[in-house]
């Protein structure tokens, strides 16, 4: 479960990169990167679109479908529930507020396919609000390509024993 400390770390990274926010989006589990970074339960499959916006400063916002109102309950932030797509668009515009430049799991010209998780239509929708969408690749690297203390300890343990085997 994402906690306040995790969100604070994301916000700190956004400020360093001079971004107004990071918009996470998924439809039917289309973004495992979001699930990992937000520490969502991978077993909890959703069938409707959801958005989670982490602003550089302030309270995050979540947008979920009326059928799956609890989809993002493990995350902090204000919740908006939509039913028709028009309401989704309205909630998204309101949630993004005055943001001008945000990151999404998008890769210009699909140069990094691993990152490219958001469909073109959703990118176009966000851009239609006058918002510049940039790749989240650098942010993803900060939060995904890092070892935990346990992983580092395991690596050092294995390396030590490999050295012993090689030296025999």
pLDDT at 161: 74
The confidence score (pLDDT) of residue 112 equals 94
- Taking 50 as the pLDDT cut, the residues of the chain under it are 1
b or e along 30-61 (b: 16 or more beta carbons within 10 Å of the residue's beta carbon)? Answer: bbebbbebbebeeeeebebbbbbbbbbeeebb
Q: Which domain holds residue 102?
A: 4-167
pLDDT at 2: 57
pTM for this structure? 0.86
| Domains: count for the chain | 1
CATH number of domain containing 53: 3.40.350.10
The continuous run of DSSP H or E covering 104 comes out as: strand 101-104
- Categorise residue 105: left if φ over 0, alpha if ψ from -120 to 50, beta otherwise: beta
pLDDT of 87: 98
Structure confidence at residue 5 (pLDDT): 67
């Amino acid at each position: 479960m994402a906690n306040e400390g995790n969100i604070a770390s994301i916000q700190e990274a956004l400020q360093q990169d001079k971004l107004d926010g990071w918009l996470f989006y998924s439809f039917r589990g289309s973004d495992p990167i979001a699930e990992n970074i937000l520490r969502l339960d991978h077993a909890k499959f959703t069938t409707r679109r959801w958005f989670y916006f982490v602003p550089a400063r302030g309270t995050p916002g979540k947008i979920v479908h009326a059928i799956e109102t609890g989809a993002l309950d493990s995350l902090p932030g204000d919740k908006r529930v939509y039913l028709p797509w028009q309401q989704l668009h309205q909630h998204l515009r309101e949630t993004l507020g005055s943001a001008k430049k945000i990151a999404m799991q998008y890769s210009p010209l699909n140069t990094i396919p691993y990152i490219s998780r958001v469909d073109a239509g959703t990118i176009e929708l966000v851009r239609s609000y006058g918002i510049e969408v940039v790749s989240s690749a650098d942010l993803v690297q900060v939060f995904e390509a890092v070892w935990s203390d346990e992983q580092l300890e395991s690596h050092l343990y294995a390396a030590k024993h490999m050295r012993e085997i090689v030296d025999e």
